[in-house]
Structures are given as C-alpha cells and as structure tokens.
Structure 1
C-alpha cells in the first residue's frame, strides 16, 4: 500500500521552501561581495553568516519534525538527502564569502562574476522547485537546467584557474584566489547533487 500525502505533511514542504529561500538570500549577498570594498565585504560576510545560521535553524526544524513523524511524504532517506543537500549548498556559499574576507582578497578576476551568477541562478531554481515537491510534477526542467549550469560552472572554474596560474606571479595570491574559486565550484557541485536528489524522488513517485 502506498501512503498519500496528508494535510499536515505540508509543513515539510514549507520548511524546505524556507530553507531554499535562504540560498537565494545567500547568493544575493555573495553577488554583492564581488564589487564591494574590503570594509563592505566584512559587513556582507557577517550578514551571510547570519543567513547561514538561519538556514541551519530551518534544517534543524525539518530534521526534528522528520524524526518525530512516522509516515513521511517520501522515503525517509530521501528526506534527509534534501535537507542535507540544501545545507551543503548554503555552507559552500558561506565558505566562499568567508574566504574572501579571511584571505583579504582584493579585486577578483572578472570571470568570477560568471561563476557566482551560475550559483545565483541555481539558488533561484531550487527555491522555485521546492514547493513543487508536493506533487513531484513539473520538476524535470529544474534538474536538467541545474545540470547544465553545473557544467557551465565547471568550465568557468577551469578557465579561471588556468588564467590564474598563467597571469598571477604571486604564489600566495594564487593560493588565496584558488581557495575562493574552489569553494564556488563546490557550491555548484552541491546544487547538482541536490537536483539529483530531487530527480530520484520524482522518479520514485512517478
């Protein structure tokens, strides 16, 4: 017998939607950090930490409810994957912003904006997709587009690293900038893994 969703299950989707909204806010702040001066970056990074903490609270609320619920909308492991996937995306975004401040990086390479733009779009798509998990319909374009964006991020990352090694003579600066790039690339990977989790659920429920 297959269980169907009941009205009280809506709280799970509301919490997922709230968590995904934090991703958009975090991506907004990360975008603003690119053109900010050092003082502004510190303030924006502090705000980004606050958003990350709010996302953690949403994740804890989701997991607490999940641990107390006998019948869940989807397989329990899949529910955990959704929560941890959103958390991983938020952590990677926060790490990238944090490293910009900790490493005291100056002007970032122009191409970094392309990479951050990909993350911002992934965050928007994720926020739009979470409410649709209620019916697991109209989600195919979401995971296909995130996969496409992740490939764009990979290409942008490789190009930026190659340019960094080719054009920057200061090894310390190379290490610092590559650390930021690595965090941004990891964020793109996290969004793809989250989209894969959504695809798994949709296929199981179809």
Structure 2
C-alpha cells in the first residue's frame, strides 16, 4: 500500500460520512411513513425532503472544501464521485417517500421493511468506511459486506415484484412497483459507493 507522506485534511471524508449518516436518518423516516396513516404521509415526506436538502448542502460544502484545501485525503475527482453517489442514493430514498405520499399507498408489502433494513445497514457501514478512506484500513471487509447486502436487496426486490404481479391488478401493481424500484435504487447506489471504494483500494495497493 502506498505510503502517505503528508498530513491529511480529513474534513472531506467527514462530510462524506455525514452524507451517509443522512441516509440512515432518512431510512428511519421512511420506516415511519410505511407505518403511518395516509393523513400523515405528506408531513413525514416533507421531513425526508428536508434531509435530502441537507444532504445536498453537504455535497456543496464538500465542493467548497476541496477548492479551498491544498491537501485532500483522496484525489478530488474521487471525493466528488463518492459525494455524487451518496447524493443519488438520498434522492432515490426521498423519491420512495414521495411515491407513497403521491399515490397514498397503503397495504405496502413487508418486503419494503426488509429493503429498509438493508439500506440502513448499508448506510451505517458506509458512514464508518468514509472516515477510514485516508488510511484505507479494514475497507476490504466493508466492500465484501456491502456486496453481500446488495445481493440480499436484489433478491428481495425480485421476490417483491413477483408477489406484486400475483396479487395486484395493473394500476395498483404499477404504483407498488414504483416504490419497489425506488428502494432498490437506493440500495444499488450504496453498492456503487462500495464498488468505487473497492476501485480505490485496488489502485492504492
């Protein structure tokens, strides 16, 4: 592994970690939405919109930090790409909440909660991993566990969609399928973050 000879500016990594932690917060709100009455959907969705906005603010804070810092723990393009991936994951999660709110979805499958459990664990692991990018310590385990979780999320999505096709007519199917795809998209974006970290490990080793 390459030796790093200069002191590291880790503010960028802390911002990435905070972006991942925002996803964990958002997962909690999404879980509330799934268990809420329809009259509470809009209020809770607005809370997730706010978390999404805060995540975007963190992204712009990272851009400012990269421009003003002479030394960064990773190449600027790596920090930028990871930030974009995490912001995309939050956008998918926010869209999941809006899907429930707009369609007033009730009777959502328990598969949604299974997906949220995976997303929450992915976000937790990613928040921790972002802080360790300066030293690249113990990130192989992160990479492997994230891939395992992504496979679990994909299998849950396939089962969920098959169940929807059996149990719903075309219009309700389309609405519930939209939710399934949005949640799956969140898990997929977090897998992208892990895959990108894997690429950094390969390059720096």
Q: Establish whether TM, by shorter chain, passes 0.5.
A: yes
Contact map agreement 2:119 2:187 (CA 8 A) in 1: yes
For the 8 Å contact 1:5–1:73, the answer to whether it is kept is no
Asked if the contact 1:137/1:202 (under 8 Å) is kept, the reply is: no
Distance change >3 Å, CA 3–CA 176, structure 1 → 2:
same
- Taking the aligned partners of 1:168 and 1:4, their CA distance within structure 2 comes to 60
Across the two proteins, how many residue pairs are aligned to each other?
204
Residue number in structure 2 paired with 1:205 = 204
| d(CA) in 1 for partners of 2:156, 2:186 | 13
Query: Offset of 1:197 from its aligned partner?
Result: 1.2
Aligned to 2:182: 183
The match for 1:131 is 131
- Deviation at residue 195 of structure 1 after TM alignment: 0.6
Aligned positions of 1:6-85 closer than 5 A: 6-7=7-8, 9-85=9-85
Distance 1:10 1:68 in 2: 13
Pair 5,196 (structure 1): closer, same or farther in 2 beyond 3 Å: farther
Q: C-alpha displacement at 1:5, in angstroms?
A: 4.5
When normalised by structure 2's length, the TM-score is 0.93
Distance 1:4 1:200, change over 3 A: farther
Structure 1 runs not aligned, ≥5 long: none
User: Within 2, Cα distance between the matches of 1:156 and 1:115?
Assistant: 7
- The runs of 5 or more residues in structure 2 that have no matched partner are none
**In 2, Cα distance between the equivalents of 1:161 and 1:47?**
28
What is the CA–CA distance in structure 2 between the aligned matches of 1:41 and 1:141, rounded to whole Å?
37
TM-score w.r.t. the length of structure 1 is 0.92
Output the CA distance in 2 between the equivalents of 1:20 and 1:5.
Answer: 27
Whole-angstrom distance in 1 between the partners of 2:121 and 2:165 = 28
